[in-house]
């Protein structure tokens, strides 16, 4: 059996020049809870999630995606993964496994993926006291998934399958552009990570799960009333069968409200090919604007800082 060390997505870390504006957005507009703030670094939790935090904001002169973090099943899995990556010719390890100096502690390490973004894998992070999100309470339950842009999505997909044990759930394609997005899973949930074809390496979007469709629509409305730019939605995708409303945070990172992401029977599931030129592929409801080149560009984001680890 293929080694599958990754259990779930933990958090997405961003660096931005305007630290205070970014903090205000994620805490007030987006509905996360700031749980720690120290020397230009703020940590935000989702009230329904046991994760210590789902977003980290760091003040920096350069905007960048600092890292994407995944959970592992045990310290032994972390050590085994680190040993495999150290022995691999196509992987550059940043730090060896050790105690993490972040909320909740834990045991983990960091490395670069083949595109040059930083990946953290950890286990034994102390769980955070969380609660049930109530009916009509329009705040995120948890971090749902992270999607990245890559100039070579085929190679990046192979990296995550080979080294981290991710499995392909579905593919988006176009007759004239080829395969455009790979939806990857590390559990029966349809995807916790996805890879999009883009003009440069960057964050495509980070997605936050709401309690249900009612809460998703109320959250979408709250963001709109706050003046947040809606780039696409509301609608419902075919791949993953999840709802979507895409916004830009104050620094142009795309963030999504979603709910009802599909849970698969992994013993019987076969990855599908979904044609993006079919309107139902992008939006089953038909409530969002049709996908276009202009909408696609909204999620290209700025080119990221590559093969350079954040200072913390």
Domains annotated on the chain, with CATH: 6-123 (3.10.180.10), 142-297 (3.10.180.10)
- pLDDT tens figures, 140-167: 999 999 999 999 999 999 999 999 999 9
pTM: 0.97
Strand order in the sheet with 243-248: 230-236, 243-248, 254-258, 202-209, 142-150, 193-197, 178-185, 167-174, 272-275
| Residue percentage of the chain with pLDDT more than 70 | 100
Q: Which residue has the tokens 């990946």?
A: 119
pLDDT tens per residue, range 6-50? 999 999 999 999 999 999 999 999 999 999 998 899 999 999 999
Q: Are 242 and 256 in contact (CB under 8 A)?
A: no
Please state the φ and ψ torsions of residue 144, each to the nearest 5 degrees.
Answer: -85, -55
For a pLDDT cut of 90, what percent of the chain falls above it? 98
Query: Is the pLDDT at 1 greater than 70, yes or no?
Result: no
């Amino acid at each position: 059996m293929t080694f599958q060390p990754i259990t779930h997505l933990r958090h997405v870390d961003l660096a931005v020049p305007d630290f205070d504006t970014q903090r205000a957005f994620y805490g007030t507009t987006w509905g996360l809870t700031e749980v720690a703030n120290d020397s230009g670094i703020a940590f935000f939790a989702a009230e329904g999630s046991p994760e210590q935090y789902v977003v980290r904001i760091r003040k920096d002169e350069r905007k960048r995606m600092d890292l994407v973090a995944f959970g592992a099943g045990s310290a032994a899995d972390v050590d085994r993964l680190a040993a495999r990556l150290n022995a691999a010719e196509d992987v550059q390890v940043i730090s060896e496994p050790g105690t993490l100096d972040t909320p909740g502690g834990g045991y983990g390490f960091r490395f670069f993926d083949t595109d040059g973004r930083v990946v953290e894998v950890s286990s034994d992070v102390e769980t955070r006291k969380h609660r049930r999100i109530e009916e009509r309470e329009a705040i995120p339950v948890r971090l749902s998934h992270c999607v990245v842009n890559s100039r070579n999505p085929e190679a990046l997909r192979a990296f995550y399958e080979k080294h981290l044990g991710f499995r392909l759930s579905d593919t988006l394609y176009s007759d004239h552009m080829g395969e455009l997005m790979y939806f990857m899973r590390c559990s029966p949930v349809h995807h916790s990570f996805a890879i999009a074809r883009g003009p440069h390496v960057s964050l495509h979007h980070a997605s936050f799960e709401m309690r249900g469709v009612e809460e998703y629509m109320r959250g979408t409305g709250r963001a709109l009333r706050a003046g947040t730019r809606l780039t696409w939605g509301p609608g419902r995708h075919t791949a993953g069968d999840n709802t979507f409303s895409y916004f830009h945070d104050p620094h142009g990172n795309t963030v999504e409200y979603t709910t009802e992401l599909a849970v698969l029977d992994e013993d019987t599931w076969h990855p599908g090919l979904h044609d993006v030129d079919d309107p139902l592929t992008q939006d089953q409801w038909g409530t969002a604007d049709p996908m276009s080149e202009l909408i696609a560009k909204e999620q290209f984001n700025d080119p990221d800082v590559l093969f350079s680890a954040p200072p913390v």
